[in-house]
Amino acid sequence: MKGSAIRELLKLTESPEIISFGGGMPAPEVFPVDAFRAATERVLLKQGKQALQYSATEGYRPLREWIAKKMATYGIESAPENVLITSGSQQALDLLGKVLINPGDLILTEKPTYLGALQAWRAYQAEFTTVPMDQDGLQVNLLEEALTAGPKFMYILPNFHNPGGVTLSLERRRKLIEFSDRYGVPIIEDDPYGELRYEGDHLPPLVVIDSEQCRNRPGRSIEKSSYYDESKPANGNGRAYMRGNVIYLSTFSKTLAPGLRLAWVVAPVEVIERCTVAKQGMDLHTATLNQLIAHEILTGGADGDDFLKGHVRLIRDVYRERRDVMLTAMERHFPPQVKWSYPAGGLFLWVTLPKYLDAAALLTEAVARKVAYVPGSAFHPAGDGHNTLRLNFSFCNPEKINEGISRLGEVFSEAIERHEGMSTEDAFSTLQATI
Ligand SMILES: Cc1ncc(COP(=O)(O)O)c(C=O)c1O
């Protein structure tokens, strides 16, 4: 395992005088501190002994039930047996790597993709093949060639991509599910940001489209002919077990608080069972206290089940404003040669500089001006994408966003001016060095 020079540089950006667009951190101003304080008190009063005890690896049953019910509101009839609670989605990625990846296995990802997944799966000696994205997400017309290389699974972030900022269109979601089914390549759908939509209509998750398209599809083997697992009796609540080609991940990190380290996997029971064994060896179970507090916040307060809805509405308002402030500031301060994505939700914007610029080299200049971002090569499995970078718009307040973008505009404008002032020969060798 290797550390990364970029991570080392980004550590410098943690000091308070740096305006950091680097991390994917929620705005601390919106953390529901009072709701946590009240819920913690209620849990300790009502269930103190249980909350401080070891608990089941699969997770706190009432929380699994709550998640299965929430999935049903999306249109997926999962049972609590289809749900595993994990210590963050990052752990879910690691668990799935542990269960699914043999050394040398090929994983298909979008290009760019989430750095944390690459980090987790490189440790299991995975290799990567990539398919590029445009403003409508993964370019599914380029998928077939990558699928013929025989990847073990696809890793897809359909909503408000990290780092790409784009959303996979409904038409492409349907095609992607068709390809997954036709080539027998399952999908890991990572959806931490799905609820943070600032405009437009909610699009169904891949797991839902898979359930619609694969249910009773004619001409399929008995094993695959039903989306629900007929070989297992329904559980005590009469709920069928789901199966299908998609493993769905989501998290409370962006809607409640990342410090909770609480997330979930929804998958066929066979996958949940194997991940549970892997999790036992990793941490026995996710913190009982945190699970009980989260469950209490979600169900036990004065607003009961409505707490999360109301809270997510607040987060959306705050982040929508920050996104718009950043977009307006970029229009004002970035030179015309710089392009960026337009995110309908989530936390990130993806920026493309002219080909001859190297975002990692420019980060040193940006940090000298006390502003930071993540260079895009970190999100490319093959280390390319030198002229790209990711900006986060959730963490800094509007005033800091304006100031930080103005400083970045200076860094980029000066770099472009320097390049344009070069002789053609020098410019050509710089371009060669960066591609
Ligand atoms: C795409 C994606 N997956 C997983 C994670 C990890 O989330 P968690 O805090 O639940 O571990 C993140 C965090 O930013 C993310 O962006």
> CB–CB of 393/322 below 8 Å?
yes
- Asked if the model's pLDDT at residue 236 lies above 90, the reply is no
| pTM, full prediction | 0.93
Which of residues 243 and 335 earns the better pLDDT score?
Answer: 335
Residue of 67, 90, 394 to test ligand 1 pocket, by largest number of atoms within 8 Å of CB: 90
Q: Which atom of ligand 1 is nearest to the CA of 258?
A: 9
How far is C-alpha 406 from the geometric centre of its chain's CA atoms?
Answer: 28
Out of 253, 279, 291, give the residue to mutate to test ligand 1, the one with the largest number of ligand atoms within 8 Å of its CB. Answer: 253
In this structure, the strands spanning 348-352 and 371-372 are unpaired
Mutate to test the pocket of ligand 1, among 10, 31, 89 (most ligand atoms within 8 A of CB): 89
263 lines ligand 1 (CB under 6 A): yes
Structure tokens at 166: 């784009």
Using pLDDT thresholds of 50, 70 and 90, give the confidence band for residue 105.
very high
**Residues 118, 381: contact at Cβ < 8 Å?**
yes
Q: Is there a contact between 355 and 387 (Cβ–Cβ < 8 Å)?
A: yes
State the Cα–Cα distance between residues 230 and 209, nearest whole angstrom: 20
**What pLDDT digit, counting tens, does each position of 373-432 carry?**
999 999 999 989 999 999 999 999 999 999 999 999 999 999 999 998 875 666 666 555
Q: Is 155 in the pocket of ligand 1 (CB under 6 A)?
A: no
Any long-range contacts for 38-47 (C-beta under 8 Å, 24+ apart)? 38/301, 39/293, 39/296, 39/297, 39/300, 39/301, 40/293, 40/296, 42/296, 42/300, 43/289, 43/292, 43/293, 43/296, 47/292
Of 11 and 111, the one with more pLDDT: 111
Q: 298 with 312: CB under 8 angstroms?
A: no
Pairing verdict, β 371-372 and 388-392: unpaired
pLDDT confidence of residue 77? 74
Domains of the chain: 5-24+308-434 (3.90.1150.10), 34-299 (3.40.640.10)
- Per-residue pLDDT tens digits for 321-371: 999 999 999 999 999 999 999 999 999 999 999 999 999 999 999 999 999
Alpha helices (runs of H) in 334-395, residue ranges in sequence order: 359-368
Distance 203 CA to ligand 1 centre (A): 20
Q: Which residues on adjacent β-strands are paired with residue 265?
A: 84, 249
Tens of pLDDT along 15-37?
888 999 998 899 999 999 999 99
pLDDT confidence of residue 224: 42
Tally DSSP H helices, then E strands, for the chain.
Answer: 15, 14
Q: Is 114 in the pocket of ligand 1 (CB under 6 A)?
A: yes
286 lines ligand 1 (CB under 6 A): no
**How does the average pLDDT of the chain come out, rounded?**
90
Handedness of CA 122, 158, 253, 330 (dihedral sign): positive
SS3 label, residue 19: strand
Q: Is there an atom of ligand 1 within 6 Å of 262 CB?
A: no
Q: What is the pLDDT of residues 68-82, one digit of tens each?
A: 999 888 887 788 999
Minimum mean pLDDT among 40-49, 120-129, 239-248: which range? 239-248
Residue 59: both structure tokens together: 């997770």
Residue pair 227/242 in contact (Cβ under 8 Å)? The answer is: yes
Give the pLDDT mean for 184-212.
94
For residue 226, pLDDT over 50 is answered with: no
- Residue 73: what pLDDT? 87
Minimum-distance ligand 1 atom for the alpha carbon of 157: 1
